[in-house]
Structure 1
Amino acid sequence: MRTISLPTDEHWTQQICHVRDIPRITVNHLGVKYRTVEALQDVSFTLNSGKVTGIIGPNGAGKSTLLKGMLGLIPVSSGTTIYQNQPLMDQLAKVAYVPQRSQIDWTYPATVWDVVMMGRVKKTGWFRRFSNVSRKISETALERVGMSAFRDRPIGQLSGGQQQRVFLARALAQEAEIFCFDEPFAGIDQKTEAVIFEIFRELANEGKIVLVVNHDLGESIANFDDLILLNQGLIAAGSREKVFTQENLYRAYGGQVIFFQGKAA
């Protein structure tokens, strides 16, 4: 007769504590109003670390609004966003946020190196000299995105894909716990898209939270672990396989999208 050892109470306690210790963001009944127009209403979901999560939905669905509302960059009319039992907006030092390229002043007289070093300001403090450690971290970030050769180039002279790589490097230099990107793939080449997704995967494997507003429903969807599907309210949230279904897409887009099952494989 074989003797089977059952897990002890201590074992189960350790397992439960391990689950509870996973960093997560909890969004509860979030709503945003622009004057009298409800841009987003009653959105709730949970983001776990170690995942690359995409926010998808039609134009005007509230994708960027959701991201900004979570971070406290715009006023919310209802709800909360909690990270590690505290409001996320009170912990922005732990967040690296990259806005849409259209919201950035590309005529500002800054070099690639200047932009990446901006990612070290929160760690260093305003009007203080950057340490050698900060410089090394920024150099490593530039190398990681393949932009070291452009460090002295004015940011406005770069292509769209190169600019996006530089802002990704700035985000990496922040050494954040949460990475938020608003449509990082708009107007960039496929090579840069592949580089960015590879780094997103590395960040997730390091236990970071990676949240990405994405407008493309093509093959790039396969790079996301989880999805949040919106149309001014939450249609579905969870694993890619659970969310990216014909029924959910029809609810979000109506007859405006053709469903390809193979894209989510």
Structure 2
Amino acid sequence: MNTFQFASDRISINQLQVAYREVEALHRVSCAVQAGRLTGIIGPNGAGKSTLLKAMLGLVPIQQGTVLYQDQPLWEQLDRVAYVPQRSQIDWRYPATVWDVVMMGRVPKTGWFQRFSTRSRRIASQALERVGMNRYRDRPIGQLSGGQQQRVFLARALVQEAEIFCFDEPFVGIDQKTQDIIFEIFHELTEQGKIVLVVNHDLGESIHHFDDVILLNREAIATGNRQQVMTKANLDYAYGGHVAFYSEAA
């Protein structure tokens, strides 16, 4: 059994194992997620990509293994994490405006039932402006397009002033403009030294945005630098046969 020792500016995942009703979802996954690099979790449907992200955050129970950040369990430090789930998991009928949704991201800094400070409101306005949604601030969230909704939740993540940003399939059902905005902000966050981890199902051109990749199919097939991981042999093994993907050399 290999034991990984990583620097404190990384998330270290060691021998992580998860099962649902005795069906193994993740088998002894070990890898690292480095600060300052955009990391994608890639793999076929049912590979455990979302499960890995949720297990890291303590949202699903694990059978064994550890997930450490600065030598402490990550799920004990969720105040340092901004997490955006899949859009399909959100109830868009909830009666909240764009502004309400973004300000929810300031609650951990402000406290429940406390008045938001001038600084919090300024941060929220700046985040909405950054994602191009400030003029929709009074619009009910359920009346927005999929891309607009995703941008609002990105703004909510930004106002949390987190160290770690986790996104579960943020590019599903969105337009090209929104995808471009999201990647721009992801790169800004990594330049600031943040940890940015993204579950991504697409093997198209968007792959070239990622610095590092965790290639998963219930176990870690390969992890590390994108060019080293995204080889034909690794992808064929992960996907169980020939798979077409975007190649920068093509």
Regarding TM over 0.5, the answer is yes
Deviation at 1:258, TM superposition (A): 1.8
Deviation at 1:260, TM superposition (A): 4.4
CA deviation digits over 1:131-175, x for unaligned, max 9?
111111111110110100000000000000000000000000000
In the aligned structure 2, how far is the partner of 1:259 from the partner of 1:207?
A: 29
1:52-201 aligned at under 5 Å gives the runs 52-201=38-187
Query: Deviation above 4 Å: which 4+ runs of structure 1?
Result: none
In the aligned structure 1, how far is the partner of 2:242 from the partner of 2:21?
A: 28
Aligned to 1:262, the other structure's residue is in SS state: coil
How many residues end up aligned between the 2 structures? 245
Deviation at 1:21, TM superposition (A): 6.8
Among the aligned pairs, what percent are the same residue? 70
Contact 1:236 1:243 in 2 (8 A): yes
Contact 1:54 1:227 in 2 (8 A): yes
Query: Given the superposition, is the C-alpha separation of residues 72 and 140 from structure 1 closer, same or farther in structure 2, using an over 3 Å criterion?
Result: same
Residue 159 of structure 1 aligns to which amino acid in structure 2?
S
Aligned to 1:102, the other structure's residue is in SS state: helix
Q: Equivalent of 1:30, from 2, 6, 16?
A: 16
Residue 59 of structure 2 aligns to which amino acid in structure 1?
L
CA deviation digits over 1:85-115, x for unaligned, max 9?
1000000000000000000000000000000
Contact 1:96 1:180 in 2 (8 A): yes
Deviation at 1:256, TM superposition (A): 5.2
User: 2:195 — aligned with what?
Assistant: 209
Residue 71 of structure 1 aligns to which amino acid in structure 2?
L
Residue 230 of structure 2 aligns to which amino acid in structure 1?
F
Deviation at 1:262, TM superposition (A): 2.6
Query: Given the superposition, is the C-alpha separation of residues 259 and 134 from structure 1 closer, same or farther in structure 2, using an over 3 Å criterion?
Result: closer
Contact 2:204 2:245 in 1 (8 A): no
Deviation at 1:259, TM superposition (A): 4.3
Aligned to 1:237, the other structure's residue is in SS state: strand
Residue 194 of structure 1 aligns to which amino acid in structure 2?
D
CA RMSD of aligned residues (A): 1.3
CA deviation digits over 1:107-134, x for unaligned, max 9?
0000000000000000001111111111
In the aligned structure 1, how far is the partner of 2:245 from the partner of 2:195?
A: 28
Deviation at 1:261, TM superposition (A): 3.0
Structure 2, unmatched stretches of 5+, are 1-5
Aligned to 2:214, the other structure's residue is in SS state: strand
Contact 1:113 1:152 in 2 (8 A): yes
Deviation at 1:38, TM superposition (A): 0.3
Q: Equivalent of 1:248, from 220, 231, 234?
A: 234
In the aligned structure 2, how far is the partner of 1:260 from the partner of 1:137?
A: 37
Structure 1, unmatched stretches of 5+, are 1-19
Contact 1:22 1:48 in 2 (8 A): no
CA deviation digits over 1:38-73, x for unaligned, max 9?
000100011110010000000000000000000001
In the aligned structure 2, how far is the partner of 1:21 from the partner of 1:40?
A: 24
Deviation at 1:257, TM superposition (A): 1.4
Normalised by the length of structure 1, the TM-score is: 0.90
Residue 200 of structure 1 aligns to which amino acid in structure 2?
F
Deviation at 1:23, TM superposition (A): 1.2
Asked whether 1:235 is paired with 2:221, we answer yes
Q: Which structure carries more helix by proportion?
A: 1
Query: Given the superposition, is the C-alpha separation of residues 22 and 34 from structure 1 closer, same or farther in structure 2, using an over 3 Å criterion?
Result: closer
